[in-house]
Structure 1
Amino acid sequence: MASHTTHRAERHRMRLDDHLPVDHRLNTVYRIGAGLMGLFLLAFGILGLTDNIGFFDTGGNTAMGLNTNGALSVLSVCVGLLLFVGMVIGGNFASTLNMTLGILFILSGFLNLSLLDGDYNFLAFKIQNVLFSFVVGVLLMVFGMYGRVGSALPHDNPYWRARHPDAEQRAGAAGDQVR
């Protein structure tokens, strides 16, 4: 008979951005970006829903200069609320959410560009919606990446320090030698 040892599995809460530093000055940028984009999407979605248009109607219903239907309005409200959640939480979560949604908006723009005037255009996109999707995607990515990426980040930037932990130790050692 084989003896088996039972190991108690420990549960660890996994977070994707634990290794990233939190900086309160950059946190403001992430929150503002999420809030502004969320506000616009929420307003667009609510205005689209108040027109009582069909859920998958592909007619010429517009809200704020963009073509819409019930499905696109509901989707806009949901994404707007998600961005508001990101604004409330802030920090690295808001930054990562902005970048992720920015990429999804750009991908949506390409997908819906290929579906224009086709049978599968169930979100009733027109070219202005595609351009809007690209613009919102780029803005969300800029707000999300602000202060996190770049070749000329200042040395007091928390993301630069996180990528160069040995530079801080060398600077401290150099300061000790000068005294």
Structure 2
Amino acid sequence: MKLQEELPVDHHLATVYRAGAALCGCILLTFGGLGFANALSSFDTSGDRIAGMTSNTALSVISVVVGLALLAGAAVGGNVASNLNMLVGGLFLLSGFYHLFVLDRPANFLDFGMTNVVFSFAMGLLVMTFGMYGRVSSKLSHDNPYWRERHAEGAAREPGVRHPGRSR
């Protein structure tokens, strides 16, 4: 399946991908900006709190970079936003697992606390859900471009449903 070609740019799912990327990007930019506003030191693990979570300058930089990437994905939209949401969501989940195992250890260079781990899991699931919305389900509607791509012969028999690879 070619992920970049199966969803028309003007399909209603593109709005969900854009909105999800923009919302999560703004949340991360806000968190990173608050970290910079408090003038935290890089890699400090003293436990400075921003919005209930521990933070340092390194985490603020990562939050701003990822937030800007999500906003860029929202600006592009379509499958780019969807794929970026799934990638960033997966990275948040991996980060949550990593930091869960390094809590209270020297390898916790981003100063994660348990609230950060929970936030990482929650943000990862939220961003990933926005990215996968309308792509994965056992009951996709027959006008869904992902259903049509996976069931090309069934889509050809559906009246009034055009195949995504044909006649754009």
User: Does the TM-score normalized on the shorter chain lie above 0.5?
Assistant: yes
Distance in 2 between the 1:147 and 1:171 partners?
A: 19
What are the Cα deviations for residues 55-75 of structure 1, in whole angstroms up to 9, with x where unaligned?
010012111111100000000
Superposed counterparts of 1:138-157, under 5 Å: 138-157=125-144
Aligned to 2:5: 19
Distance in 2 between the 1:88 and 1:114 partners?
A: 35
Distance in 1 between the 2:19 and 2:137 partners?
A: 20
Distance in 2 between the 1:51 and 1:66 partners?
A: 13
2:83 is matched with which residue: 96, 109, 118? 96
* Relative contact order higher in (CA < 8 Å, ≥ 6 apart): 2
Distance in 1 between the 2:14 and 2:82 partners?
A: 8
TM-score relative to the length of structure 2: 0.90
Larger radius of gyration: 1
Q: C-alpha displacement at 1:24, in angstroms?
A: 2.1
Q: For structure 1, which runs of at least 5 residues remain unmatched after alignment?
A: 1-15, 173-179
Distance in 2 between the 1:165 and 1:115 partners?
A: 47
Distance in 1 between the 2:48 and 2:156 partners?
A: 61
TM-score relative to the length of structure 1: 0.84
Report the residue type matching 2:15 in the other structure: T
Q: C-alpha displacement at 1:168, in angstroms?
A: 2.5
The two structures, once aligned, show a CA RMSD in angstroms of 1.2
Aligned to 1:79: 66
**Which contiguous aligned blocks of 4+ residues in structure 1 show a shift greater than 6 angstroms?**
none
Distance in 2 between the 1:171 and 1:51 partners?
A: 58
Number of residue equivalences: 157
Distance in 2 between the 1:114 and 1:100 partners?
A: 22
Q: For structure 2, which runs of at least 5 residues remain unmatched after alignment?
A: 160-168
